[in-house]
Every structure is written in structure tokens, then in C-alpha cells.
A = this chain, B = another copy of it.
């Protein structure tokens, strides 16, 4: 997996010019001359305050092999592959500070890494940066059951925090597919969205305090547990969603809501996309404060999961040629009240002609999980069918179908869509274009499933998709971030003035450019 090093100039991050693989823009093809590569002497220095178990390095006096570094150098999709020779796993904020101070003085680049579950290559090196993995900082620091404020090390795994809160009858305000691996620090650094945003809002509201180690080793210790604090600029907001480019988040104070007493799920098929908006409005009116998710998927996504699982979630005859599907979740304090509200809601929408073709409501926790799994299996089903170009975009909800249709039409016009029954020919084609996502948040996941990743398909998709998003005043990244994957497309969502000031802010915190170079911004 490793390209041979052709030239080596000691002390300089240096690698041979490398073909930019399809879909992997942003990789450096020339060294950043202002930065230094980590050396054996640096490792010796790290050993002076870190135990052997906290250093994984192929450089003397370490004994690790390249294979030992694979879980840190490769992102989980195996899409982005770095060449770091050194992973550090500090156990405390002070150790992080010492590492940063040294790397700052030596001008060594750093990639902060959480659970390595990102989708845009933000948490793996683009070259031979030092990987600062937070996995050993995994203690809960405090929890106050009255205020619901949890203070935790950045390396705590999201699911572990959820489990920790269970006896207190509280839940984390966010939930993601990656919860078993992702770190809370990584969640904050990428401003993760997920499944509970509609109900509990974004991390910008629920994160109350952060402890951050700055590139020069200084500790920005604003681990406040206050819901309200109007004392000047809220600097922590800059680190939320900064993807490791401004500093290393080491501690998080977060507001956790009480666990709901009852949850229900409802899967509905709708004759046409236009009805989705109307059903959404009705849920908002009738379900109000108990509405906790409103997920959408189109017919192609629904059929994909049916084929993948061999199961129908709804009655095939009733579904007929329905073109849209929604999964509605409620979370409330009293089951009988929630069910009464749901019943009234269903009566209303069934009373309207041509609103709903079919529906099923969970009657048990198993039902609940099974309905959710139908929604959650979409990415897996897409991955089984082919190679998936994933676009995570925000657009007005009324445009969800139009965006998917426009992309499909565009690919068809370029003769890049495989016709029904068509065999795989010489050039790989697109098998399917599907749209699904968090309708309630305006977040569409557009997946283009192809026989293979090809430069022809990619050229057809980009910048086309980004231009469509820009024309709708949308966002090219709703929740996945920019990372390495979308640095070239930032201008479709952020204007020139914003980008310029973003760079100036980067300069304020990281004037030596050692923090996660090549992420969020392209290397100048």
C-alpha cells in the first residue's frame, strides 16, 4: 500500500510526486518546505515523558512495523492512506501539551485523530505527519445529574458515554451510526450531526465548554459547564467543526437531555414526493414536542434495501408505485400521550386522499429497531451494489427529489447510466442514483452507485453536484465536514470574504501551519 520514497531529504517532509487517485483530491504532491519530518531524536524526546505503550513508531528506538500503523494511517473506508511513521497516544492534557509544544518548536505537522470514523479524510495524514490519537484519554471527568452536564475526556467513545449516562436516565444529545467507535472529541471537532439533531439541536448549542491544546502547547481551558456565559467572544465555537486544524480538543463539557420515557417509529409510503412536505408539516403540528426524527428515502433507496435484506418493510401491494418513504420517530415522557398524538396524526393524514399509500407503526422495541434498521441499512445496501460516490448536502427540503432527478438526468444525458438489463461494458457506468437523509434537518444524502470509480463519472459529477447545491444556496457538506475530500469545493458554500477570514483565523491559532495541513483548506 506504500509508495516507495524516491528521495529523502532529512528534516523535510518529502515524498515523490504521486498521481492523485480518482476521488482523492488534496493529496500533497510536493513537500511543505516549512515543515519538518519527525526523526528518531523526536521519538527520544517523546519517550522522556510518554510510556512506551503511548508511542507507536517505525523510527528508532521504537520497534513498530508499518502494519502496526495501518489502523491509524488508513481511514476506515480505505480511501485515504497516510504515511505517518509515528502515532502518539497521550493519557493527559499535560502530555498533549508537551507533545504540541515540541512539535511547534520543531515545526512538525500533527493530525489529531479520534475514532477514525470520518468520511472525508480529515483524521488521517496526507503524508508523514505525527498522528496524535486521543484513544487513551477516555475518562468521564464529572456528571451533574441536576443540570445534566457531562464533562469527559475527548477520547471517550460516544456509546460508552451513552452507557455511562443510562443509570442516570440521561442520554447523549447526539447519536450516529459510528457510535461504537467515534470519540466525543472527534464528534465535536467535526460538528457531527446524526439522528437526534432535529430534537436536541446541534453541538453548537449543547457543547458548553471545551478544553483545547493549542498548536504552541498552550491550554485553552474553557471547560465551562454553564448554560449561559456572555463574557466576550465564544472562542470554543471555532473549534467545533474545525476538524483538527486549529488545535487539539482534549476535554468536552456537554449538556445531556433526560432520556425519553417512550419512543415510537412509523414508516409510511407516499404516492409522490410532493406529499412529504405536507406530511412533515402535519407531524410538526400534531406531534410537536415529541417529534424526534423525520427521515426520508426515495423509491430507489427503498428498493435497494428490500433487495439487500430480501424483506419488505411495508405491504408490497399497498406500496404500489409509491415514490417516497418517511420514517417518523417520536420520543416523549408518557407513552399513552404519545400514542394518542400519533393516532390523531394518522387519522388526519389517512383522511386526506392520496396522502399515504401504506404505513406501519412499531408496537415493540423490536419493531422500533427493525423499522430504523430499514433506514440505516441504506448505506450498506448501496455499498454492496457498487462503488458509491457520497454527497452529503444541505438543500431546501422541497428540492430533495429535484436534486436527485437532476443528477440522474445529467448522467443519462452523458450516457453514463446503465440501462435496465444492460451488461457491464468497457467503460464503467452508474447503476443507481439514490436520495435519502434527514428531511427534518434539510440534509440530503445523495449516493451515486457506480460499477467502479472512474475519472469519467467523477468529472460528470463534479463540479456539477456542487454547482447544483450552490444554485440552491445549499451546503456542500451538511454534516461530514470538508476534511481532505472537499477542500477544492469550499468555494461553492463559502464566499470569498468568508474564506479569507477563515484563513486569517487559522493564522491566529496556527501561524506555523502544523495543525492537520491540507484539511479544510487546500495547501497554498
Counted per complex, copies of this chain come to: 2
Q: Is B501 in contact with A509, judged by CB distance below 8 angstroms? A: yes
Q: Does A201 contact B (CB under 8 A)?
A: yes
- Asked if A225 is an interface residue, CB under 8 A from chain B, the answer is yes
**Known contacts A237-B237, A508-B505; A220/B497 CB under 8 A:** yes
CA distance A105 to B520 in the complex (A): 33
Q: Does A34 contact B (CB under 8 A)?
A: no
A232 at the interface (CB under 8 A from B): yes
How far is B146's CA from A120's CA once the two chains are assembled, in angstroms?
Answer: 30
Given contacts A234-B240, A334-B337, A337-B337, whether A225 and B473 have CB atoms under 8 Å apart is yes
The reply on A228 being an interface residue by CB < 8 A is yes
Counting CB contacts under 8 A, is A504 at the interface?
yes
Nearest residue, chain B, Cβ from A145: B281
- Name which of A1-9, A61-69, A190-198 contacts chain B: A190-198
A287 at interface, CB cutoff 8 A: yes
- Chain B residues whose C-beta falls within 8 Å of the C-beta of A475 in the assembled complex: 224, 226, 228-231
Q: Which of B332, B493, B499, B520 is the one whose CB lies under 8 Å from A229?
A: B493
Chain B residues within 8 Å of A233, by CB:
238, 241-242, 246, 502, 505-506, 520
| Residues of chain B lying within 8 A (CB to CB) of residue A287 | 333
Q: Does residue A309 face the partner (Cβ distance < 8 Å to B)?
A: no
In the complex, whether A285 has a CB less than 8 A from a CB of chain B is yes
| Residues of chain B lying within 8 A (CB to CB) of residue A242 | 233
- List residues 395-416 of chain A with CB under 8 A from any CB of chain B: 396-398
Contact status A235-B498, CB under 8 Å: yes
| Complex partner residue of A232 from B241, B285, B340, CB under 8 angstroms | B241
27 contacts between A and B (CB under 8 A): A147-B396, A147-B397, A148-B284, A193-B228, A201-B205, A202-B205, A221-B497, A226-B474, A227-B442, A229-B394, A230-B479, A230-B481, A232-B490, A232-B521, A233-B238, A233-B506, A233-B520, A235-B502, A237-B238, A238-B238, A285-B333, A289-B289, A289-B333, A333-B341, A334-B337, A337-B337, A501-B508
